[in-house]
Amino acid sequence: MLMNLLLLLVIVQVAPVAPFVVPAKQTYLGSSGSSTTAVCSTATFPSTSPDQVIVLPDADAVGSKIRSIVEEAAVKAIADHGHFYLAIPGGSILKMLVGSKGEWTKSTTIAYVNHKCVAMDDEKLATHAKAMNLFMKDWEGCNPIVLDGTADGPAEAAAYERKLENLANLPRDSDGLPVFDLALIGVGDDGHVGSLYPNRDEVLESKKWVLSVEMKDPPSISLSLPVMANAKEVVVAACGVSEKYPQGKSDAMKRAVVNEDETLQSFPAIGLRQSATWVMDEAAASKLGDTYNE
C-alpha cells in the first residue's frame, strides 16, 4: 500500500503539465466550473495568425473597413436566418459606424458589449445616447436592447441577461451560449475589452452572459469574455491617437496579438486572439513585426 502511494506521488510530480490553449470560437472557456476558471487564469496563448490581422493606412481606412464588415455581416445573417444580431461597444468604434445604413437595419437587433449603469438619455455617459446621436437615429427599424437606466449594477446585469435570453431567435450554441452574428470590440491600452479589466474576477467568469463590474462609479455591465468570443464573427478595431490614448495603440496591439507571456488576468484582450479578426491602422501595428506588416 505504501509503495503504491509513493509511486503515485512520483508520477504526479514528474508528469508534464500541458499548457492550456484556448480552442477556437464555440468552445472558448465553455460552460465549465471553477476548475477551468482556475486554469484559465494562467493559460498560455499562441500568437495570433497573421491572416487574422488586417493593417490599413489610417483611422479613416479602418472606419471604412468596419462599416463594410458590418454591412456584409448583416446581409449574410439576414439571408441565413432572417435577422442580424450585432453587439457593439462604446468608445471610438461608435464613430466608425457613422454613415452605415441600409435596408438591413430594419432586421437588426443591437446589444451593448458594455454600458455604464446610467439613464439611457445621459449624453455624457450612456453609450446608447451616444450611439443614437451618432448613427442609430438613421438606422431605420433597428431594435437596440437597452438597460433599465438605474445605478444598480447587479440588477442591471441580471435584467440585461434576461432581455438577451428572451430574444427567441438569437442563435445559441450547443452549450446554450448566445451566438451574435457580429461582435465589434475595442481594446484599452491596459488590455480591457468591454468592461473586463486586468486582475479582476470578471475576466474569468465563464457561466454568466452579462456581468456587473463595480470598479468605478457609476458601475457598468459587460458581456462576459466567452460571450464576446462566441460571436460568429468577432472584430477588434484599434487605431488613431486620442486624448484618452495619446500614444496610440501600438503597445496594446503588441501585447494583444504577439506577446506569449500574457495571461487573461494580465491582459484580457488575449482571450480573443484565436477568435477575432484584428483591424488596425499602421501606427497601431507598428510594433507587431514584419510578419504582420507585409
3-class state of residue 127 by DSSP: helix
21: left (phi over 0), alpha (psi -120 to 50) or beta: beta
Q: Model pTM? A: 0.85
Band of pLDDT at residue 240, cut at 50, 70 and 90: confident
Return the pLDDT at 292. Answer: 87
* CATH number at 20-292: 3.40.50.1360
d(CA 286, CA 249): 9
Q: Is the pLDDT of residue 236 over 50?
A: yes
Plot region of 248 (φ>0 → left; ψ -120 to 50 → alpha; else → beta): left
Tell which residue, 90, 133, 93, 86, has the closest CA to residue 110: 86
> What SS3 state is found at 144?
strand
pLDDT at 12 over 90: no
Say if residues 45 and 21 touch (Cβ distance below 8 Å).
yes
Structure confidence by residue, pLDDT tens digits, 125-181 = 999 999 999 999 999 999 999 999 999 999 999 999 999 999 999 999 999 999 999
In the predicted model, what is the mean pLDDT of residues 190-205?
96
Q: pLDDT value at position 44? A: 61
Q: Are 180 and 74 in contact (CB under 8 A)?
A: no
Q: For the segment 266-292, what is each residue's pLDDT rounded down to a tens digit?
A: 999 999 998 999 999 999 999 998 888
Question: For 242-270, what is each residue's pLDDT tens digit?
Answer: 777 777 899 999 999 999 899 999 999 99
Confirm if 45 and 270 have CB atoms less than 8 A apart: yes
* Pair 228, 192: CB distance under 8 Å: no
Strand, helix or coil for residue 166: coil
Report the distance separating Cα 85 and Cα 142, nearest Å. Answer: 10
Look at the chain and count its residues: 294
Exposure letters 79-91 (e unless 16+ CB within 10 A, then b): eeeebbbbbbbbb
